[in-house]
Amino acid sequence: MKTEKSEIISFFKNIIGIKDKYALEQLGIHSRKWTLKAKRILLKENEKVSEVSFLYQQGGVVKAYYALDQEGKSRIHCFAHLPGEPVTGIANLDRSMVSLLTVEAVRDCELISTSVDCLRDLAQNCQEIALACNRMIGITAIKNMEYEKVLTSSKVEDRYRYFLEIYPDLVETVSKKDIASYLNMTPESLSRLLKNIEKEAKTN
């Protein structure tokens, strides 16, 4: 039976792709595997980040959102559901790092959470970790640019197709309200769109 430490090391080696033995040993020491229950918040917007968390297994889903105003309105910015996906937005690893988004579990999630201090030290001393962190930051930046482009220049139909392309497994998992928020439209607009798509499918 695997110990928690060996499971964590296996995760970083086989899912994240880290091969450096010293880095894997340190990640095994300074990480933990745990479960974030559905509807529980991992991080709040502007909260200091002490750990970077990754989805451990298939089945878990989180959403990340930010406040639109002081009256409690918010907007979904992204979802995560694939093993190895970071659910903490990694913009940098400095000591004053704060979360730009509130991160909440949609379904129960098994997470691997790693100390930011450990990642920062490894990134300074291990090229493989530095490259992995830079790759995650770069992928996040590209996704953000694509998302903003879709919202500002695409019709509602194309926005929904974009959601299906990016998150094909989440259509039946995430609420229509959250999908509408992510696509920057009202739930009513999304409902009308889905009815039109259904009519077109029956016609064809």
pLDDT tens-digit readout, 121-176: 999 999 999 999 888 888 888 888 999 999 999 899 999 999 999 999 999 899 99
d(CA 185, CA 22): 48
Question: Do 18 and 122 touch, CB atoms closer than 8 A?
Answer: no
Distance of CA 145 to the CA centre of its chain: 15
d(CA 111, CA 52): 10
- pLDDT, mean over the chain: 91
Query: Rounded to two decimals, what is the model's pTM?
Result: 0.89
74-100 pLDDT tens trace: 999 999 999 999 997 666 677 778 888
Is pLDDT at 66 greater than 80 in this prediction? yes
Nearest Cα residue to 93 out of 125, 49, 56:
49
